[in-house]
Amino acid sequence: MSTVHAARQALTDLTPSRERVLEDALRGLSSQPRRLPSKYFYDAAGSALFEQITRTPEYYPTRTELALLARCLPDIARAVGEKAHVVELGSGSGRKTALLLEALREPVAYTPIEISRAALLSSIDHLAPALPAIEMLPVCADFTHPVEVPEPEEEPRRRLMFFPGSTLGNFEQAEAITLLRAMHQTMGREGMALIGIDLHKDTATVEAAYNDAAGITAAFTLNLLRRLNQQIGSDFDLQAFHHRARYSVPNLRIETQLVSDREQDVTVAGQQFHFAPGDAIQVEYSHKYTEASFQQLLDAADLQIVGRWDSVAPEPAFGLRLLQRR
């Protein structure tokens, strides 16, 4: 690896403001059905809980994707070539990133874009000492909005967008297409994108992954209400809502909700929202894909598959796709 950029780091901080979070919460709670954006799961506590989720026996996506990456990274590195600038959307802990950066040929820079400042700084603290030749250019921002990618000192031969974990599945179809179109633009003419997608499988396996026996996913979901109480001054009673996650086979997605256990009123910025027993707030979708449904997204975003890798039995079905502009 080149040592020209040893350990250089530059943080760009575009953390969503209290006003943005409040605006999103009021809009979502005023809509029908009610909803709250899943991106706000990821404060410091939420990010830590999600890392615990990824290690539960029921949550197959992380371990399956890690095994798949370990198997196919030599092929990916050959396809990407040398001196890439890796731009990751929603970097999390960086476990998968470390595997990718170590496998690539002389990557010049790494830009994680992550909404949780704590998770972002933790991943960089872990990666930078292990990969001192790679310029670290982290951005704390909401990647669902346009984000300007910092330019590294050494000019890369291409950008590689990295979007693992089937995070794409958290977006409804129109939102997913918008995000893929933005990636199409950001990657540039010679760029590529490596995306993880969770594939459709039996209902029992999928539902277990989002309803672990230890209750960590439930705590993670409820932490969204704690975060809002803390940041925008709402008064959600965390003891009066419960987590519910069901797989809608017709829609090929897990639908995660927070369900009211009793008659109650919640106040946000002086506005009252009434909940009857059983009233729900939609907080997350986790889409699963068939080849056809994923191809529909790519067609709309003018992208094509240039590399395809899938997990092998007995691992649950999961895929990695390497994309380029058409």
Residue 34 has pLDDT above 80, yes or no: yes
Question: Token pair for residue 6?
Answer: 């040893």
Which residues share a beta bridge with 5? none
The pLDDT tens digits for 42-52 are 898 999 999 99
What separation in angstroms does the CA of 128 have from each of 43, 110, 125, 209?
22, 10, 6, 32
For the chain, state the CA radius of gyration: 20
Specify if 70 maps to a domain: yes
- Which pLDDT tens digit goes with each residue over 198-256? 999 999 999 999 999 999 999 999 999 999 999 999 999 999 999 999 999 999 999 99
Is the N-terminal amide bond of 37 cis, ω within 30° of 0? no
Query: Percent of the chain at pLDDT above 90?
Result: 86
Q: Using DSSP bridges, classify how beta strands 271-275 and 264-268 pair: parallel, antiparallel or unpaired.
A: antiparallel
Instruction: Give pLDDT tens digits for 106-156.
Output: 999 999 998 888 888 888 998 999 999 999 999 998 888 778 999 999 999
Q: Which amino acid is at 13?
A: D
Q: Is residue 311 part of a domain?
A: yes
How many other C-beta atoms are found inside a 10 Å radius of the C-beta of residue 301? Answer: 22
161 falls within a domain: yes
Omega cis (within 30) before 129: no
Confidence category of residue 8, pLDDT binned at 50, 70, 90: low
Q: List the alpha helices (DSSP H) in the chain.
A: 18-30, 44-53, 60-80, 95-103, 117-130, 173-187, 203-209, 216-232, 291-301
Q: What is the extent of the structural domain holding 183?
A: 56-201+288-325
2 pLDDT exceeds 50?
no
C-alpha–C-alpha distance, residues 194 and 196, integer Å: 7
Q: Is the pLDDT of residue 5 over 80?
A: no
Interatomic CA distance for residues 107 and 154, integer angstroms = 10
pLDDT value, residue 143? 87
In a domain, 299, yes or no: yes
Q: Is residue 97 part of a domain?
A: yes
Question: Would residue 175 count as lying in a domain?
Answer: yes
Burial class (CB in 10 A: 0-12, 13-18, 19+), 129: exposed
CA 199, CA 310: separation in Å to the nearest integer?
Answer: 9
CATH value at residue 176: 3.40.50.150
Structural domain total, the chain: 1
The count of C-alpha atoms lying within 13 angstroms of the C-alpha of 307, restricted to the half-sphere facing its C-beta, is 20
Torsion on CA atoms 53, 57, 62, 67, rounded to nearest 10 = 160
- Res. 26 pLDDT band, cuts 50 70 90: very high
Q: pLDDT digits over 286-322, tens only?
A: 999 999 999 999 999 999 999 999 999 999 999 999 9
What is the residue-averaged pLDDT of the chain?
A: 94
Residue 101 has pLDDT above 80, yes or no: yes
